[in-house]
C-alpha cells in the first residue's frame, strides 16, 4: 500500500505561497517560481544585512566630516585628535552628537584639539 502525500504537499505549498505574498506575477502564484523567488530573497536579505552596516558607517563618517568642517577641522584630523586625547567615542555616537547636539559636538572637538 502506498502513502499519498497530497495533504502534506498542499500544506507545504500554501506555507511557501504565504511567504511570497506581495511578490509580482507568477512569483507569488506558482509554487516553483515562488520557491525560487523566496530563496533569492533570503540570499539578498542575508547580504544586505551586512551591507546595511557598511552604508550606515559611511553615513556616520559623512555627517561627522560635515560637522567637523563647520568647526574648522577635517575628519581625519578630528579622529586622530580624538585618539590622542583618549576620547572613546565611536562614529555612530559622534554622528548622533553632530546632528542632535551641535554645541556638544563643538565641545568635543575643542577638547580633542587642545589635548
This prediction's pTM: 0.75
For the chain, what percent of residues have pLDDT higher than 90? 90
Give the tens place of pLDDT for each residue, 48-81.
999 999 999 999 999 999 999 999 999 999 999 9
Give the tens place of pLDDT for each residue, 21-55.
999 999 999 999 999 999 999 999 999 999 999 99
Grid coordinates given for 57: 558607517
Average pLDDT of every residue of the chain: 93
CATH number of 6-114: 1.10.1900.20
Task: Decide if pLDDT at 115 tops 80.
Answer: no
Three-state helix/strand/coil letters over 14-68: HHHHHHCCCCCCHHHHCHHHHHHHHHHHHHHHHHHHHHHHHHHHHHHHHHHHHHH
Domain locations in the chain as residue ranges = 6-114
Amino acid at each position: 500500500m502506498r502513502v499519498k502525500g497530497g495533504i502534506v504537499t498542499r500544506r507545504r505549498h500554501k506555507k511557501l505561497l504565504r511567504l511570497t505574498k506581495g511578490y509580482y506575477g507568477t512569483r507569488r502564484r506558482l509554487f516553483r517560481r515562488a520557491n525560487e523567488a523566496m530563496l533569492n530573497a533570503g540570499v539578498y536579505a542575508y547580504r544586505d544585512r551586512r551591507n546595511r552596516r557598511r552604508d550606515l558607517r559611511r553615513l556616520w563618517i559623512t555627517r561627522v566630516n560635515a560637522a567637523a568642517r563647520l568647526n574648522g577641522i577635517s575628519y581625519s584630523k578630528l579622529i586622530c585628535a580624538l585618539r590622542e586625547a583618549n576620547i572613546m567615542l565611536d562614529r555612530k555616537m559622534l554622528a548622533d552628537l553632530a546632528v542632535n547636539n551641535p554645541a556638544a559636538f563643538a565641545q568635543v572637538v575643542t577638547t580633542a584639539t587642545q589635548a
